[in-house]
Chains A and B, each alone.
Chain A
Amino acid sequence: MADSRLIRSRRGPVTYVLRVLVVLYLFLLVAWPVSLVADRAFRATGTHEGGVGPFLERLTDPATVYAFNLTITVAIWAVIANTVFGVGISLLLVRYRFVGRRVLSVLVDLPLSVSPVVVGLALVLAYSSTQGWFGGTLETIGIQVIFSTPGLILATAFVSLPLVVREVVPVLEEIGTDAEQAARSLGANGRQVFRRITLPSIKWAVVYGVVLTSARSLGEFGAVKIVSSGAEFRGETATLFVHNHYQAFDEPAAYAAALVLVLISIIALVVVTYLRPKEERA
């Protein structure tokens, strides 16, 4: 820490130019547009009233409440699935050597590089009741995947799959296997080793991954757009709500919901920044 301060102690004009450039870039790209959303959420436009009262009214509208409820439900399931499988995949990648390990590692990263729209299309192909492999079978036992909540969860889980894995893998690699082996030699079985030794060591990485996954899940749009019917009270998530209302010239409702999504992201970021030092100290 002290070293980096020493290096930067001589501040020439270049330093200031660079700083201004960065601040300007971030302002034009992020801060200014987002602040406009906040501004619009409270401003009176045309026939719509402005202010806090109408803002809250729009948010408590049944359609808005439904959309946020659905988004949260989907996010919770996606987070649960990705936490369980994420930790499992991380252990597999770090602790075992097997044929196809590198392929699995690449596959885990795939959702980061593939467009969410493509993910949605792929899921429709695989799970729709008319053309998918399992879709028809699942429908006969009463589970509809596409155009229903399970499909939303699938799509959301798919796009946020790597976040837990990429947080946990480096920590697992760093802690090594000595403590786990010591626990084994002291009489602990596999489950006890995981619960008492491995899990406490990767705890902060998992929490961090969960926060990132939650933020990503709440904001997912592309994949969800394809697998959801997207109509009011029928699979309309918060992001779809924003999109639909914006398209339907109900801009105040769209901005109100958008602002809530922004606030959730900011809270997630604050939580992450708060967790980071703890993780480093551990």
Chain B
Amino acid sequence: MSIEVRGVTKKYGDFVALDDVSVSIPTGQLTALLGPSGGGKSTLLRIIAGLEVADGGTVEIEGTDATALPPQRRNVGFVFQHYAAFKHMTVAKNVAFGLEIRKRPKAEVKAKVHELLELVHLEQFADRLPSQLSGGQRQRMALARALAVEPSVLLLDEPFGALDAKVRKELRDWLRRLHDEVHVTTVFVTHDQEEALEVADEIVVINGGRIEQVGSPDDLYDAPANDFVMGFLGEVTVLDGHLIRPHDVVVHTLPAAAGAGAVRGEVVRITRVGFEVRVAVRPEAAPEADEVVVTLTRTFARSLGLEVGSTVWLEPEDGARVVPVPRAVPVGTLGAADPTEPSEVPVA
């Protein structure tokens, strides 16, 4: 394990940012710390980097106890959400900074900077100032700067958070490819579940200063440990007292095709969003309850001939993961109570 965090606690006054957090981050992988704002994920990253001091617990990087080490002696690369560019230095000087601090020979610095700028596709901007670059370019420069010192771990704090949607998506793909090239242990913080699912090898879900679940993107999506993880990693709807993904609900237009436990309801709304169709169904047995939302492909919805007002029967798809709806569980302790234990629908 590349990074071992044990029992880390951090408080800001009365606010508990991290509550006895322990996590292992595997070597050479791309790990996402995923969670809502204020959940403690950035704090954890900053504690790993040494930019923040934990109130308790230990941090081990590559087998060395780093708890008391200052940031400059941890050999970590850190990339900030707002780039943290050295505004008075050219792009090349920014990238060379860490090497010049380490007093490497001039020729070596020059070669390394050139190599890194090529890696991040900024070689033609070497002599520009950061203010002459776009946001995406600045962030790539910051990445090259962090990689220059050959860190044992690369830490990215919401690296694409300040960029617009299109650039964010490009950089996301680019980060994935870059990681496949350089294989440095990378941890990035994000509140965007799509980003985490798409880029990461492993995801650590953090909420309310605690770790909710650790696993691969598929594990987390298919087998969420509790209703919070399920709700945070994708859309959910409530069917017959259970949380379920809208695309895991099967719609029947004839009762004969539906199973015994199917929920009978009336279509109240059909919304078309690009290739997918969202159907809102009011269950007949509990009309005062929330509508069940089902997502279908456009083709399938058309073949069913759904219309507002038609009667349908809904049931979970075979093998779909469902989680009982928590009964008025206080915020912040989600996942601690028993009724939220997940279950799986037996394959028929």
Binding site for B on A (CB under 8 A): 178-179, 181-189, 192, 196-197, 200-201, 282
Partner of B80 from A182, A189, A196 at Cβ < 8 Å? A182
| Complex contact A187–B87 (CB within 8 A) | no
| Complex contact B101–A192 (CB within 8 A) | yes
Contacts A186-B72, A186-B101, A187-B72: A282 and B88 contacting too (C-beta < 8 A)?
Answer: yes
| Complex contact B142–A182 (CB within 8 A) | yes
The answer to the question of B342 belonging to the interface, with a C-beta cut-off of 8 Å to chain A, is: no
Neighbouring B residues of A201 by C-beta, 8 Å:
87-88
| Complex contact B88–A200 (CB within 8 A) | yes
| Complex contact B101–A187 (CB within 8 A) | yes
Residue of A nearest to B81 (CB): A178
Question: Which are the 7 A-B pairs with shortest beta-carbon distances?
Answer: A178-B84, A186-B98, A182-B84, A185-B78, A200-B88, A184-B71, A187-B72
Neighbouring A residues of B102 by C-beta, 8 Å:
187
A182–B73 Cα distance when bound, in Å, is 13
Residue of B nearest to A178 (CB): B84
Binding site for A on B (CB under 8 A): 49-51, 70-74, 76-78, 80, 82-88, 97-98, 101-102, 142, 145-146, 148-149
Q: How far is the CB of A28 from chain B (nearest CB, A)?
A: 45
A187–B72 Cα distance when bound, in Å, is 4
| Complex contact A185–B87 (CB within 8 A) | no
A282–B149 Cα distance when bound, in Å, is 28
Neighbouring B residues of A185 by C-beta, 8 Å:
49-51, 71-72, 74, 76-78, 146
Neighbouring B residues of A181 by C-beta, 8 Å:
51, 71, 78, 80, 84
A179–B130 Cα distance when bound, in Å, is 12
Contacts A184-B51, A185-B76, A186-B72: A179 and B86 contacting too (C-beta < 8 A)?
Answer: yes
Contacts A181-B51, A181-B71, A192-B101: A186 and B84 contacting too (C-beta < 8 A)?
Answer: no
| Complex contact A187–B149 (CB within 8 A) | yes
A interface secondary structure, majority: helix
Q: How far is the CB of B322 from chain A (nearest CB, A)?
A: 44
Q: How far is the CB of A171 from chain B (nearest CB, A)?
A: 12
Contacts A178-B82, A181-B78, A282-B88: A186 and B51 contacting too (C-beta < 8 A)?
Answer: no
Most chain A C-beta atoms within 10 Å of own C-beta, residue among B49, B78, B83, B84 = B84
A177–B287 Cα distance when bound, in Å, is 55
Neighbouring B residues of A183 by C-beta, 8 Å:
86, 97, 101
Apart from A185-B76, A282-B87, what are 4 other A-B pairs with CB-CB below 8 Å?
A178-B82, A181-B71, A184-B71, A188-B101
A200–B89 Cα distance when bound, in Å, is 10
Residue of A nearest to B93 (CB): A196
Neighbouring B residues of A187 by C-beta, 8 Å:
72-73, 98, 101-102, 149
A179–B138 Cα distance when bound, in Å, is 13
Neighbouring A residues of B145 by C-beta, 8 Å:
182, 186
| Complex contact A197–B51 (CB within 8 A) | no
A181–B77 Cα distance when bound, in Å, is 11
A192–B97 Cα distance when bound, in Å, is 11
8 A-B Cβ contacts within 8 A?
Answer: A181-B71, A182-B78, A182-B80, A185-B49, A185-B50, A185-B51, A185-B72, A186-B148
Q: How far is the CB of B93 from chain A (nearest CB, A)?
A: 10
A247–B70 Cα distance when bound, in Å, is 64
| Complex contact B84–A184 (CB within 8 A) | no
Neighbouring B residues of A200 by C-beta, 8 Å:
88
A244–B85 Cα distance when bound, in Å, is 56
Q: How far is the CB of B187 from chain A (nearest CB, A)?
A: 13
Neighbouring A residues of B73 by C-beta, 8 Å:
187
A185–B75 Cα distance when bound, in Å, is 7
Neighbouring B residues of A192 by C-beta, 8 Å:
101
| Complex contact A189–B72 (CB within 8 A) | yes
A181–B85 Cα distance when bound, in Å, is 11
Residue of B nearest to A175 (CB): B87
A188–B72 Cα distance when bound, in Å, is 6
Q: How far is the CB of A213 from chain B (nearest CB, A)?
A: 23
Contacts A178-B80, A192-B101: A184 and B86 contacting too (C-beta < 8 A)?
Answer: no
Residue of A nearest to B142 (CB): A182
Q: How far is the CB of B57 from chain A (nearest CB, A)?
A: 20
| Complex contact A186–B146 (CB within 8 A) | yes
A95–B70 Cα distance when bound, in Å, is 17
Partner of A184 from B70, B87, B142 at Cβ < 8 Å? B70
A30–B288 Cα distance when bound, in Å, is 79
